[in-house]
Amino acid sequence: MQLKPIFLSLLFLLLSFQSATAQTYEKKIDSLILTGFGNTNEPGGAFLATKKGKVIYRKAFGKANLELDVNMTPDNVFQIGSMTKQFTAVAILMLEQQGKLNVNDPVSKYIKDYPSGDKITIHHLLTHTSGIKDFTKMKALSGIAQKEMKPEMMVDFFKNEPVDFAPGEKFEYNNSGYVVLGYIIELVSGQTYEDFIKKNIFEKAGMSHSYYATDRLLIPKRAYGYHQKEYGFVNKTVISFSVPFSSGSLMSTVDDMLKWQQALNQNMLLNTAETKKAFQKYKLNNGEEFTYGYGWHLKDINGTPDREHGGSVFGFKSMGVYIPSEDIYVIGFSNCDCHSPTEITRNIAKIVLQSGKK
């Protein structure tokens, strides 16, 4: 009869330990985030950390809207910038899985008049090894930044620029390549990029708070974007989202991004073979390996391989880190391009990784 009190004591100790562990996580991560997001009266951010699908940290800091004095919550919707590239890459692989294209196809198969399109492949676009001119580095960009651009117009904007290098010669991060990919998605699927992503990814993964960005439509719980000037904060510069298009125009929440990661893990969108293509390293023409798959940087945290990508668009910055071996996912969003969540997000991943190895 004495077993029951002993069992209850052990159970109490276990629960106390788990509670203490959670509190330790929280304190460590809080102090880390507060180094960059410590002012409650400034634009802020939202952070989420999970391990094996279980949420171990979920908090927001600062203001979602300065003019209305609205506090940030973890439910707020942010522009995710270049994290959009993950969705574009997966959309291409979904079309390959359906037999509608092949990543080794030349661009000229879909865009007949693309200069040297017979030498540039979809693979080159996905891996930033195409050598085509990045439109964000073109001086003429300011002339179209606020215009409504059709995908074909965006491609025409940069396609005749001199190339930076021959396809496959080097890795150089490139937004233009992902705009071309978005145009190919439209040509092959017969849908707009926005509709394709919504129907084939957002709806399938249950991402009900993710959108193709818009300044016109009402987005529930939208976080407003800001820049910081010497005299204080200002509202973000207005751009037409048709310009970054499939290289950087999506919006999401930290919870929806977790659903995205889980959909990838569970092969909800891609089979195993196509998923592998996204997360493997590739080689340049000279045989040198580089650390980018299709839409993700493939790096490591303290020697443990990870998949990561950030984003930056007027008024917003984002960062996501996934450690496959431990099933750790950390996502960080900021609604001021003056506050970067990049290193903070990586350091949160380090804390979670180290705690699991003790």
DSSP string, 241-263: TTTTGGGT-EEE-HHHHHHHHHH
> 269: how many CB neighbours lie within 10 A of its CB?
20
CATH number, domain 41-355: 3.40.710.10
pTM of the model: 0.93
User: Which pLDDT tens digit goes with each residue over 103-129?
Assistant: 999 999 999 999 999 999 999 999 999
User: Which pLDDT tens digit goes with each residue over 252-286?
Assistant: 999 999 999 999 999 999 999 999 999 999 999 99
Name the token pair of 200: 């084939």
pLDDT for the residue 8: 62
Residue 149: exposure state from Cβ atoms within 10 A (0-12, 13-18, ≥19)? buried
Alpha carbons within 13 A on the beta-carbon side of 299: 13
Helix or strand or coil: residue 54? Answer: strand
For residue 125, which of 152, 74, 163, 71 has the smallest C-alpha distance? 163
d(CA 135, CA 173): 11
With a cut of 80, say whether residue 330 has pLDDT above it.
Answer: yes
User: Which pLDDT tens digit goes with each residue over 2-44?
Assistant: 556 666 665 555 554 455 555 678 999 999 999 999 999 999 9
β-sheet bridge partners, residue 289: 283
pLDDT for the residue 1: 45
pLDDT for the residue 260: 98
Residue 148 DSSP class? -
Please provide the average confidence, as pLDDT, over all residues in the chain. 94
Helices (H), 129-169: 151-158
Split at pLDDT 50, 70, 90, the class of 211 is: very high
User: Which pLDDT tens digit goes with each residue over 130-170?
Assistant: 999 999 999 999 999 999 999 999 999 999 999 999 999 99
> 208: how many CB neighbours lie within 10 A of its CB?
12
Split at pLDDT 50, 70, 90, the class of 184 is: very high
User: Which pLDDT tens digit goes with each residue over 43-95?
Assistant: 999 999 999 999 999 999 999 999 999 999 999 999 999 999 999 999 999 99
Residue 310 DSSP class? E
For residue 329, which of 35, 52, 19, 22 has the smallest C-alpha distance? 52
| Positive or negative torsion for Cα 91, 299, 223, 51 | positive
CA 199 from chain centre, in angstroms, equals: 19
